[in-house]
Amino acid sequence: MIFRKSETPETPEPAQPVRPGSKGRPTRTRKEAEAARRRPLVVDDRKEARRRDRERASKERAEAQQALMTGDEKKMPMQHRGPERRLVRDLVDSRRNVAEYFFPIALIFMLVALIMPLIRPEMYLAMSTGMIVVLWGGILVCVIDSFLLRRHLRKNLTARHGSVGSGLVGYGIMRAIQIRRFRLPRAQIKHGEDPR
């Protein structure tokens, strides 16, 4: 007892005050940060990972398809987004295009021209001549209408946006060829209405 030092109770160190704007903890070392980011290159359960990827891709496709039907530009595929493409779609949808009527009529005419000679063989020459005249005449009218549409698109795009972006005229002409009912994104305006 004589030689025993008197033990003084340890006093805890006072807590450092947290500076305003600091994160309140020490910064991680580089080694700790790298260890936290480290993941295996090959997933253990490949089938599960593939299934999750398929589900995610399927969900994204369904959302994009729904957006094409409703006109929601935020979820549309990238090739349909933007104010210039919306203007092109509206300009095409507001006019009556020859090609959207020609292709269904040409298909019906071709079917009649193929079936009629089986019923009446003597009409083969007249039907084949008529089919050639109608098809080539219709294609010529479609080409002329496409040139008029091209001029119309270029004029309106320049007036509204200052220039014609690459691929916009081709986008409009391809849309004009499609039957209005089957166009995607769906037409948002009626024939004769002004573009939005």
- Written as one string, the DSSP assignment of 139-176 is HHHHHHHHHHHHHHHHHHHHHHHSS--TTHHHHHHHHH
User: Cis bond leading into 117, ω under 30°?
Assistant: no
CA distance 121 to 142: 31
Question: Do residues 175 and 109 share a domain?
Answer: yes
Question: Do residues 52 and 134 share a domain?
Answer: no
Question: Do residues 174 and 86 share a domain?
Answer: yes
**CA 9 to each of CA 6, 12, 142: distance values in angstroms, whole numbers, following the listed order:** 10, 9, 99
Q: Which of 57, 60, 85, 92 is nearest to 71 (CA)?
A: 85
Please answer whether residues 156 and 169 qualify as being in contact, where contact means their C-beta atoms are separated by less than 8 angstroms.
no
Q: Of 40, 64, 81, at which residue does a domain stop? A: 81
> What's the pLDDT score for residue 43?
58
In which domain, by residue range, is 65 found?
A: 48-81
pLDDT at 21 over 70: no
Question: Do residues 57 and 116 share a domain?
Answer: no
In a domain, 32, yes or no: no
Question: Do residues 59 and 97 share a domain?
Answer: no
User: Domain total for the chain?
Assistant: 2
| 102 vs 44 pLDDT, higher one | 102
Question: Do residues 67 and 77 share a domain?
Answer: yes
Question: Do residues 178 and 90 share a domain?
Answer: yes
pTM (whole model) above 0.85: no
In a domain, 191, yes or no: no
Question: Do residues 58 and 133 share a domain?
Answer: no
Mean pLDDT (whole number) for 49-75 = 90
Q: Which of 183, 158, 188 is nearest to 90 (CA)?
A: 188
Question: Do residues 57 and 92 share a domain?
Answer: no
CA 59 to chain centre: 15
